[in-house]
Amino acid sequence: MQMLYDSESFVVVHMLPDALEQEHVPSADSPDSPEPVPQLARHGFQIVDKRSGKELYLDGSWAEMFQQKILAWQRDAPTQEEVEDTLDRYTGLAQNPVVVH
């Protein structure tokens, strides 16, 4: 998990896959030699709208599109207002209330 952005209005966290920890199960052919259990290594982004107290999680193609936006931000160095405007476009998708455990 990597914090990418934190302001008065938003928090953006990049959730990275834990590809190094794979379970092993015995093979049917050779019970003594374990084979790795395949895992789909996917990443995603959690965007928290502090104003509404809601969050959303982007994965799959949504995460890929958001990753492209982040790469563009790294190249172009947008203002905070431009970043906030972009994040504000995602707030309509936020349906889950933020719950602290």
Write down the pLDDT at residue 100: 66
Mean pLDDT of 8-20: 82
Cα separation, 55 vs 71, whole angstroms: 22
Q: Is residue 26 part of a domain?
A: no
Cα separation, 67 vs 80, whole angstroms: 18
Structure tokens at 78: 């947008």
Domain that holds residue 67: 2-16+41-97
Name which residue leads in pLDDT, 32 or 52.
52
Q: Is residue 82 part of a domain?
A: yes
* Overall domain count for the chain: 1
Q: Is residue 28 part of a domain?
A: no
Q: Is residue 46 part of a domain?
A: yes
Q: Is residue 31 part of a domain?
A: no
The predicted model scores a pTM of: 0.71
Q: Is residue 33 part of a domain?
A: no
Q: Is residue 36 part of a domain?
A: no
pLDDT digits (tens, 9 = 90+) for 68-94: 999 999 999 999 999 999 999 988 888
Token pair 């834990």: residue = 18
Q: Which of 3-7, 11-15, 94-98 is predicted with the least confidence, judged by mean pLDDT?
A: 94-98
Write down the pLDDT at residue 26: 54
